[in-house]
Structure 1
Amino acid sequence: MELDFEALLNEKPYLQDIRKIDLFKYELIYSLRNGRDIPLIIYFDKFFPSRLPIISINEKLSPIPKIPHVLKSGGVCYIDTEGVIWNQNPQITLDFVFERVERVLLSTPHTIEYHREFSYYFGTQTEKKWAIANYEIQTDLDEVNVWTIKNRPVAFLGKNKKFNVVIEKFFNAKVSTQNLGKATFISLDKIYSGDVPQYDKNWSYQEIIKIVKENISSQKLDKLKILIANKKDYYYLLQLPLLTGNKVVIGLWYQKTDLSFKQKTNPIIDETVSDKFKVTPIEIYQINDDTLVQRGGGVKKNPNILLVGCGAVGSDLLFLLVRSGLKNFTLIDKDYLGMANSYRHFLGMNKAIKLKPKVQLLKEEMETRYPNLNVISVEKEVLEVIDEGEINLNEYDLIIVAVGDPNIERKLNELIYKTSTPTIFTWVEAYGIGGHALLVNNGDNGCYECLIDNDLQIKSSFASRSDKPYIQNINGCAGSFTPYGSVDSMETALIASRLILRFLNGDIEGNPLVSWKGSANEFRSHGFKTSKRYDEPSEKLAEPNYDYIETQCPICKDKVVVSTS
């Protein structure tokens, strides 16, 4: 049933002079509780009330007030819908909308409210450009590189060539010295308390000079006076401390309009040359770790991680960790990615058809998606790599083992306990009945060997002892595989990644085991039985478990810590 929007509006006593413009657009007068009448335009969505209407002040009948959350166009930003649930009754929802609109229209125009949304307002400027920034500033008045494409600035870079590498991966283009210029980074010393530019209102040439001169020290100003040149283009990064306590970086591009002008100058502080330049604002997108990780909710540490095993669980786990902000990885796996396993592998069929090693394909894929990664790939069996001295386990901050082979895992556990490197073992069980992640070498007792009982069974297993193998094969021995699905590998990677992040954030003690369990229907349909541990509640299995620890374990009871110094 279609809504009659006009009838809906007419039922509200705070709305008058309602006039239909088209199917979803109406002009009206909104009477605020303080007696003021505000002419508005409402644009309904055809999926209202699931989607809220757009509200704007009718600029033909009223000037646009200079208050927070009202745009130069008259648009009223009355709600951030993220995480907000509203009533699906149209009548109630419309009251909710106008109550929020009224809050905005009656708000006091404090500058701090604009500062809270500084980046948004700055980005609405009609003449602005955008650029990526990747640098490390050493002082509050510094020089950085600026890379241009077709005479337009696209990236501000640190002087070290490592910053070029990231940008080159990002744009899939070479940063050449021919297109590399210089930009001046200026950090204001005082808190900026002025207006925020938006839409067609940028700071004027003179306003920028005033902002810089009034908010930096005399010593910094003297240094700027020395930095004069005769160039066609001048670039600046301006860091402003805001009233909110945050800092924001904006870009400014000064283009010489009078090419006959040859005088050396620094236009950001020189009032006498204002008629010689056009100033273009640049919206800056920071791609440094602090900015991206904060938004992504990850970790700010930068550990060196060794990932052993890049199959279904290992590849999913790598993707999760990269998205959490971790960026230094060494990958070890001797296998090629085959079509038979492509459905449950992160890389998929289009990569499997290339017939390349898993580690090489993962390195290429991850560094393409996330150019700031540093991935080393080793296409060999892990025990050989260690035995031949190609890697030193002590050089890593964390080792992750996702090989799914208990015999290899036992040997790795033994070798790891001769080092000081914490390690997480993770594996998935047949038919997706569950998965596990175990932290070891994190002080105290508890290691992978503790899981192995006298009958050579894994104590944490959800599968009961069976003389019948869990593996299946399609084309004889060469086609043998452990049956489980991509969801099972992802679930296992998920609990392992949470354990890893808790460890890196210092939020875990000792050497716990965590598990998840899935349905056992298919497992049992093949004649297998589940263990007593499978019957435990899922909530208990997900909690850190230390009951598996054997105090007389031959591997971890007398742990020898090898110094890395």
Structure 2
Amino acid sequence: MELEDLFEHLSKTEKCRIVDAGEYEGLEYPFTKEGQVWEITSEITFKGNFLELVLYLDFPPEFPYKLPKLYIERNIYESLKFIPHVNEDCSICIFDDGLNTVIPKDSLPDFVEFILHRGKKIIKDGDDKSYKETEFKKEFKAYWDLKYSDKDEIFSIGIHSISDHTKEIKAVAFQGKSLAQYHYYLYTDEEDLKKIEAYAQAKKCNTIEMAVLEIEFTKAVPPFQMTYEESLDHIRNNQEKYRTFKQLCKTKSLGEILVVFRNRGVDSVELYGWNYEQLPILPRKISGMRRRPSNFEILSAPGLGKSKLVRRLTFDNLSMERLYIRTSGIVEEESSVLCTGMGSVGSNLIYFLKNLPINKFGLIDPQKLGAENIKRNLLGFSGVNEFKVDVLASFLLDHNPMNEVQKRREHVASVIQIQPDFINSFDIHIVAVGKTMVEEYILTALESGILTKPTVLLWVEPYLASGQVLLINPADAKTTKDLVRDFKYAVVSSEDTSMNSVYLVEGSCQSGYFPYSSTYLTQFLAAVFPFIKEAVLKGIDKSEVYTWVGDKDFLLSRGLVLSDFGKAQSSFSLIKNDIL
């Protein structure tokens, strides 16, 4: 159905007109360019009286493949506001943008009528005080974050990691430079603070302690623009908090005090607050003496108190609990993972692991990144000539500064000899060094009990003929070591394939390498990651080996000879075998 037909249908029940495009600028709504806007005039009952309601329905040119937007006439809304689900630009929230709403193309007249009915109901419900308060509590952030006048200031420059409702809130401010444009950090756990401070230091950012006054903020209905005097009224609702605040004003500058509160109208932890500007007030005569007014006297002075506005603050939630809920929908049990070998396989595996519920990462690798490896290593050119563990630690912390990352710029054998407890402090040990002797050394330590945790070995054959993953229960270390020495799941026959076909030398000694495509590497890791994920989250009860087979036609074209095992498998297949 065309818009012309829809308009004719709606005109039978509503007073409508098509708005001329030349009127858009004067109306000052964010109408869609090249779209069509209808003005719809109707009547509703509001506060016991008939109210003439003017709405604008904006059809984008992509309609019916893009939702139209409904607006209330600005002057009418000014006389009614504030109403839940009506935005600053006078648009009415009919559909949740997070939902995949599909327009019913076979019943467009009913769809348009639904939009209008829903819009009128939202306006009419604004007459219900109890409904308004309930909805505003649920939508508190949307209305707290509005700017209510030219002088009003609202800043989303704070983060917090608070999930415990019972502990005292503390805060630090970032100095020298902001941290990802954040200026304040609220916390209740000292370990969280240590992580944030370590991350801030790495970013050349210092922290200073702030004074925090947590209050109960009971106002639910906007506007939330606040003068100094009004803010003191909110603090004064609790006399003990009021006395604490007056004392803070004596010992701290106004810029060092944060007043914060929790939104009790939602299940998640939402934190908001405000602070005050430290004003340069000159000394004046008070009780016959010339002195500078106290901070509290400045805030409560009749002139400034009634005219100066607080700086309202919003704190984004960085707690692991919130991030898990936002990601998987549930709070998952966390694990700790140690990764040895940050070459092409190990570094790219980190990309997959970073999204698991892992609260502590360990990294072991003694090498720096060479420029020749940036094509297939996760690390790019900015990491060249830096220790791989250092750059990957930064990568993990940039992804989430609440991660704990411990690293060793040493060979894994040295760590086993000197610090085996470091390795055993993690839930699982993932090894991607691609060196048989190193793998045997690790398995020997596992067999003898020096190492005690489940272990995963990964390596790839040249040209990624195969990718191998061994999931090892420590009790099966000896059997696994025998398998590694005489590995029977290789796709390329080492006896029949010339070393010159698989080991390329660029010129000088120590410049040789085994080639393989980063694309095939991604395919391999994506295929085996579900099993690695299971091992990380649930441990390894049964030792198994997974073999991912590469592109056999490509291997043959490169002159490689396949093993009997390789000949029997299909390209890009995944084979599972027991290690025992």
Shorter-chain TM-score: what band? Answer: 0.7 to 0.9
Aligned to 2:27: none
Q: CA separation in 2, counterparts of 1:256 and 1:462?
A: 71
Question: How big is the shift at 1:186?
Answer: 1.0
* 1:252 corresponding residue in structure 2: 274
Are the structure 2 counterparts of residues 113 and 466 from structure 1 closer, same or farther at C-alpha, using a change threshold of 3 Å?
Answer: farther
- C-alpha offsets along residues 399-423 of structure 1, whole Å, 9 cap, x if unaligned? 1111123443233123134232222
Other structure's SS at 1:229 match: helix
Counterparts of 2:395 and 2:260, CA distance in 1: 35
Q: Would the alpha carbon gap of residues 285 and 371 (structure 1) be closer, same or farther in structure 2, given more than 3 Å must change?
A: same
1:57 maps to 2:72: yes
**Is contact 1:147–1:175 with CA below 8 Å preserved after alignment?**
yes
Cα deviations across residues 316-371 of structure 1 (Å, max 9, x unaligned)?
122333344645433222444333332111113x246x334433443454445554
- What's 1:561 paired with? none
Partner secondary structure for residue 569 of structure 2: helix
1:118 aligns with 2:117: no
| Alpha-carbon distance in 2 for matches of 1:118, 1:11 | 38
Per the TM alignment, residue 79 of structure 1 is displaced from its structure 2 partner at its CA by 2.1
**Partner of residue 29, structure 1:** 40
Deviation track 1:349-401 (CA, whole Å, cap 9, x = no partner) reads x246x334433443454445554555444344322442355874323332111
Residues 443 and 480 in structure 2, CA contact (< 8 A), matched pair in contact too:
no
Give me the whole-angstrom Cα distance separating, in 1, the residues matched to 2:515 and 2:240. Answer: 70
1:456 partner letter: D
Q: What residue in structure 2 maps to residue 73 of structure 1?
A: 89
Structure 2 residue 211 is the aligned partner of structure 1 residue 183: yes
What is the deviation of 1:220? Answer: 5.5
Partners of 2:378 and 2:56 in 1: how far apart? 48
Q: Aligned equivalents of 1:15 and 1:474: distance in 2?
A: 80
Structure-2 change in CA distance of 1:452 and 1:104 (3 Å): farther
Count of aligned pairs: 525
Distance 2:524 2:478 in 1: 17
Letter in 2 for 1:412: I
Q: 2:470, 2:545 within 8 Å by CA — same for their partners in 1?
A: yes
Q: Does 1:129 align with 2:155?
A: yes
**1:390/1:362 CA distance change after superposition, 3 Å:** same
1:393 to 413, 420, 423: 423
Q: Residue 112 of structure 1: CA displacement?
A: 3.5
- In the alignment, structure 2 segments of 5+ residues that lack a partner are 22-33, 283-291
Are the equivalent residues in 2 in contact too, given 1:413–1:448 (CA < 8 A)?
yes
Deviation at 1:139?
6.5
User: 1:229 maps to what in 2?
Assistant: 250
The one-letter amino acid of 1:164's match is E
Alignment RMSD, CA only? 4.6
In structure 2, give the amino acid aligned to 1:408.
V
Q: Which has the higher helix share?
A: 2
The residue correspondences of 1:23-422 to structure 2 (distance < 5 A) are: 23-29=34-40, 38-60=53-75, 63=79, 66-82=82-98, 84=100, 86-87=102-103, 89=105, 96=111, 99-100=114-115, 102-103=117-118, 105-107=120-122, 108=125, 110=131, 111-125=133-147, 127-134=153-160, 140-147=167-174, 154-156=183-185, 163-169=196-202, 172-175=203-206, 180=208, 182-186=210-214, 188=216, 194-197=219-222, 201-203=224-226, 208=231, 223-224=244-245, 226-229=247-250, 231-233=253-255, 235-255=257-277, 259=281, 262-263=293-294, 265=296, 274-275=305-306, 277-297=308-328, 304-324=336-356, 326=358, 328-348=360-380, 350-351=381-382, 354-367=384-397, 370-389=400-419, 392-417=422-447, 418=449, 419-422=451-454
5 Å-filtered alignment, 1:492-503, equals 492-494=524-526, 498-503=530-535
Change (3 A) 1:71 1:368: closer
Give the aligned residue type for 1:29. I
CA distance in 2, matches of 1:516, 1:464: 16
Deviates more, 1:493-502 or 1:17-26: 493-502
Over 3 Å counting, the alpha-carbon distance change for 1:399 and 1:482 in structure 2 is same
**Structure 1 unmatched runs, 5+:** 551-565
Letter in 2 for 1:183: A
Matches within 5 A, 1:418-433: 418=449, 419-432=451-464
Q: Deviations over 1:137-162 (max 9, x none)?
A: 89655553334679999223668665
* 1:457 corresponding residue in structure 2: 487
Q: Distance in 2 between matches of 1:5 and 1:245?
A: 43
Residues 162 and 357 (structure 1), Cα distance of their counterparts in 2 relative to 1, 3 Å cut = closer
Equivalent of 1:531, from 527, 548, 566? 566
